[in-house]
Amino acid sequence: MLSTISNRTWVLLLALVLVFTLVACGGETNEPAPAADTPAEPAATADTPADTPAEPAAPVSAGLTNDAAVVASEFFSQEQYDRSMRQMTLNPEGPEGEPWVQYLEAEFVDTSAYAKEGPYTFCFSNAGVNNPWRVVGWTTMQAEVDLHPEITELIHVDAQGNDEKQISDIADLVASGNCDVLIVSPNTTAALTPAVEQACEVLPVIVFDRGVFTECPVSFVQPIGGYAFGETGARYIIDNCGDDCNVLALRILPGVDVLEERWASAKIAFEGAGSNINVIGVEFGDGDNAKVKSIVNDYLDRFGRIDAVWMDAGATAVAALEAFEDAGQPYPIIVGEDQQDFLVKWQENDLSGISPTFPTFQWRTPIIAALRIMNGEEVPAVWRLPQPTITNENLDQYIQPNMPPLHYAMCGCEGMPDFPTRWGGQ
């Protein structure tokens, strides 16, 4: 009995040894299940192919985050921006070769209610005659008045760049009862709006150059405007500056609609440009040559080089270029205006430049509009004038060696009496 049990035990032991031996020799194995914390491989989708990384967002230039780069919301209108971009592509209507009476997309208004017999006294509340652009414009306006003997007097009040003074000036002109029509070039937009609205209740008003936040004037005269100016200069830099392009943007001052619009559209263009455009700074130069040179010198010291300078006005463009000369640096791509000293320097040094003008011939138009209103003729509610651009290709035709350095080429005054001596030329 004991022998029988022992034999069965040995048989069972031999069978177990055989099983373990077969397993150890790999006759069949099972893969271990993935651990619970092992992430599954993400499935490829049509939008994000597994082997193509997503495109990183273009970095925002550090300079576009400066305080001076902020565009006040009250000065930006998407509708006006779109309108400007569209009008830049249009041909103006009106007499050939007389851009000061041409117009774009005009809607005419009836002025028969204001018709009266001459002679006339026109009144002009001027923001100031505090820079060369305004000096040339004011001279041109007076010459336009001299062309019309039915205007016996032009009463001119200079606000000297002061809002409060201009508000008082307008009130005094209206209260005098001497004005048949009031022309206003506002110092700043928001501050002058109530004064213009009060004047509109008494007599026909024409606003030009800078705007106000009201539609009460009979006519608002302005070239295509600030958006077109800013876009033209910025686009030239974007299209012509190479890789790793350092751009310095110089503004005059905040709070003026046409200047805010210039910067707003330039900022849109720079933000939409490729990563090669690096706006290293945005600064206010106050229209002061010494301050502009100091700003440029500071940025050259900090960044080593500046490849392009965008400006919202051209009066200090030569000062900016002189800062490069002082530092022994090559000239940058430059955005200026149609001031003669800049145009001459541009030509003499074969610069890469552009001049998106805000033409001074617009100073003729308010006088013409006022006469039409006195005659009861229709005038454009918004008299949108063309806005020519000076480029490397047409620069030669705007160089006027007989004119002073601070004369503006787009005055439209060449055919007026006493040209060029009245404008300081020879």
CA–CA dist 217, 307 (Å, integer): 43
pLDDT, tens digit, 9 for 90 and up, residues 230-260: 999 999 999 999 889 999 999 988 888 888 9
**In this predicted model, which residue has the larger pLDDT, 369 or 23?**
369
All residues at 6 or more sequence positions from 28 whose CB lies less than 8 Å from its CB, including other chains: none
From residue 207, how far is each of 257, 365, 382 by CA, in Å? 13, 11, 10
Place of tokens 């004119």: 403
From residue 43, how far is each of 34, 46, 47, 52 by CA, in Å? 18, 10, 11, 13
pLDDT, tens digit, 9 for 90 and up, residues 287-298: 899 999 999 999
Per-residue confidence (pLDDT) for residue 92, from 0 to 100: 97
Choose among 384, 411, 417: nearest CA to 94.
384
DSSP 277-289: EEEEEEEE-TT-H
DSSP 343-410: HHHHHHTT--EEEE---GGGGTHHHHHHHHHHTT--EESEEEE---EE-TTTGGGG--TTS-TT-BGG
Q: Is the pLDDT of residue 267 over 50?
A: yes
CA–CA dist 213, 88 (Å, integer): 23
Tell me if 379 sits within 8 A of 111, measured CB to CB: yes
CA–CA dist 283, 251 (Å, integer): 6
CA–CA dist 340, 404 (Å, integer): 7
Tell me if 123 sits within 8 A of 177, measured CB to CB: no
Per-residue confidence (pLDDT) for residue 59, from 0 to 100: 56
Please name the helix (run of DSSP H) or strand (run of DSSP E) that holds residue 324, with its range, or none: helix 317-327
Place of tokens 């005038």: 379
Q: Is the pLDDT of residue 10 over 60?
A: no
- For the four alpha carbons of 162, 168, 174 and 179, in that order, the dihedral sign comes to negative
pLDDT, tens digit, 9 for 90 and up, residues 36-65: 333 333 333 333 333 444 444 455 678 898
Q: Which two tokens stand for residue 329?
A: 């640096």
CA–CA dist 377, 138 (Å, integer): 25
Q: Is the pLDDT of residue 261 over 70?
A: yes
pLDDT, tens digit, 9 for 90 and up, residues 354-375: 999 999 999 999 999 999 999 9
Place of tokens 């925002």: 60
Tell me if 419 sits within 8 A of 413, measured CB to CB: yes
pLDDT, tens digit, 9 for 90 and up, residues 303-351: 999 999 999 988 899 999 999 999 999 999 999 999 999 999 999 999 9
| DSSP 8-state class, residue 293 | H
For residue 406, which phi and psi values (nearest 5 degrees)? -95, 15
pLDDT, tens digit, 9 for 90 and up, residues 69-100: 998 888 899 999 999 999 999 999 999 999 99
- For the four alpha carbons of 327, 331, 337 and 339, in that order, the dihedral sign comes to positive
Tell me if 213 sits within 8 A of 190, measured CB to CB: yes
Choose among 226, 189, 185: nearest CA to 80.
226
